[in-house]
Amino acid sequence: MKSNLSLQIYNFSKIISACMIAVSIFTIGCNSSNHYSTNKMTESINNQTNVNKVDSSLQNMNDDSLKKKLSPELYLVARQKGTEKPFSGEYWNFKEIGTYYCAVCGNPLFKSDGKFESSCGWPSFFEPISKGSIIYAPDSSYGMQRTEVLCGKCKSHLGHVFEDGPPPTGLRYCINSVVLHFDKTTGQKKQD
């Protein structure tokens, strides 16, 4: 009887844990891991410290000016660090060949050959177009420890980076579609 009760408690705690994980994924977004046990991301970020100096002359608009210029959805994500709903953005399941730019300032961010299907509901990339195209910031919102990804030119919020991506980097840049502008490369076929 005692072992049966222990088994029931153990199973109940597994169910509760699974439910809490599912709710976190759907309500907070693209966060599959709260802990970074390897040094892969830290090394990647540290290697870019000297490269990611933002030239303030590139983007001098204050938030009031940007609020008038940007759509409400873009302003919410880019300047107020919002998140679009999963599976709702234009580029989450997009397979065209080309380059993704920051929708606020036009900075090149990612190439389509760095995009992969992660099933998280947002566009996912395993590497940025260049070391200086994005910058990183610690994010402890919602009680989690994550790494925020920002545009290297205008510092607009793009999304987050996680350590569950494919080779060669092992990283997953989980990006909101609304902060991306896509430019199709002509003369090439769609990705499969």
pLDDT digits (tens, 9 = 90+) for 62-89: 778 888 889 999 999 999 999 999 999 9
The CA–CA distances, whole Å, from 59 to 65, 94, 106, 136 equal: 11, 29, 10, 18
Residue-by-residue DSSP string for 86-98: TT-STTTT----E
What's 58's domain CATH number?
A: 2.170.150.20
pLDDT tens, position by position, 128-166: 999 999 999 999 998 999 999 999 999 999 999 999 999
pTM of the model: 0.68
Query: Can 174 be counted among the known catalytic residues?
Result: yes
Q: Domain count of the chain? A: 1
CB 165 within 8 A of CB 150: no
164 part of a folded domain: yes
106 part of a folded domain: yes
Structure tokens at 171: 């990283």
- The beta-strand segments (E) located in 56-167 are 98-102, 108-111, 115-116, 124-125, 134-139, 146-151, 157-162
44 part of a folded domain: yes
31 part of a folded domain: no
What element of type H or E holds 20?
helix 2-28
CB 136 within 8 A of CB 161: yes
β-partners of residue 115 are: 125
- Which alpha helices (DSSP H) does 29-140 contain, by range? 40-47, 63-69, 72-80
8 part of a folded domain: no
For residues 8 and 83, which has the higher predicted lDDT (pLDDT)? 83
Report whether pLDDT(24) > 60.
no
- Out of 30, 105, 151, 174, the active site residue is 174
